[in-house]
Amino acid sequence: MIRVITIGNFLSGIGLAALGFAIILKYILDSLSATPAQLLYPFYIWAVALAVLGVVLIISIVNTFTEITGFVNPDDKLVSNMLVYIHALATLLTFGLLEGVDVVTQGYLFDMGTMIVIAYIFLFVFVFFGSKIAVGAETGQVKEMTSRFMLVSLVLGVIMAGVYLALSIIKNTFSYGWAAGGLFLLAFALVVLIVFFLGRRYEPVGE
């Protein structure tokens, strides 16, 4: 029997392919001086990808937080949610490339995407260094843990502010498209790296 998580992965692939096709079609239509009605075609494709994302999110939530669909291996959950993450970010950023989206809206979309990636950077750091930061917490050494957390937060804040500044400079100097592409590539690299690292780590699997 095909697991629900496999269906979710397949749908994520369809959604990402649809978004890629929408972007390519948008630039082809722009180069051909298409009619206003034709320029809406990428939006329709994007809407399909958005609908697919909604279904995939529901599947992902069910598989991650419940066992309604049966036991799902943690490695499978990791890969599946990686696809969901990439699909969701790509859907958000692609909307800013569609016809009729103004500069202000593009700015909002870019900021939203940046916040999503920044939140992931937090996860990225704590996956690798969380155990060192939290040393002593179980024995009541809260002050020591908080001291380490302050320094880590400071460094993280500087890194994330630098990432945001660099991408903002790209957006203001070149275009939203270049900045969105840079943001997506950064997120893609981070999520693949962490999934690859965790996928190689042994972890006891519950029943």
Query: Which residue, among 56, 19, 13, has the nearest Cα to 180 in the 3D structure?
Result: 19
Residues of the chain with pLDDT under 50: 1
pLDDT of residue 1: 38
- If you compute the radius of gyration of the chain from its CA atoms, what whole number of angstroms results? 20
Q: Cβ contacts of residue 20 below 8 Å, gap of 6+?
A: none
pLDDT of residue 200: 67
Q: What whole-number percentage of the chain has pLDDT above 70?
A: 90
* Global confidence as pTM: 0.84
**pLDDT tens track for 150-162:** 888 888 888 888 8
**pLDDT tens track for 85-127:** 999 999 999 999 988 888 899 989 999 998 888 888 777 777 7
Paired tokens of 45: 């494709």
Residue 38 and residue 104: Cα distance in Å, rounded? Answer: 24
pLDDT of residue 15: 94
Count, residues in the chain: 207
CA distances from 136 to 129, 141, 145 (A): 14, 5, 7
Eight-state DSSP code of residue 1: -
| Residue 15: Cβ within 10 Å count | 27
Eight-state DSSP code of residue 159: H
- Listed by start position, the domains of the chain span 1-101, 103-207
Residue/partner pairs of 96-102 with CB below 8 Å, 24 or more apart: 96/176, 96/180, 97/23, 97/26, 97/42, 97/176, 97/177, 97/180, 98/22, 98/26, 98/42, 98/43, 98/46, 99/26, 99/39, 99/40, 99/42, 99/43, 100/43
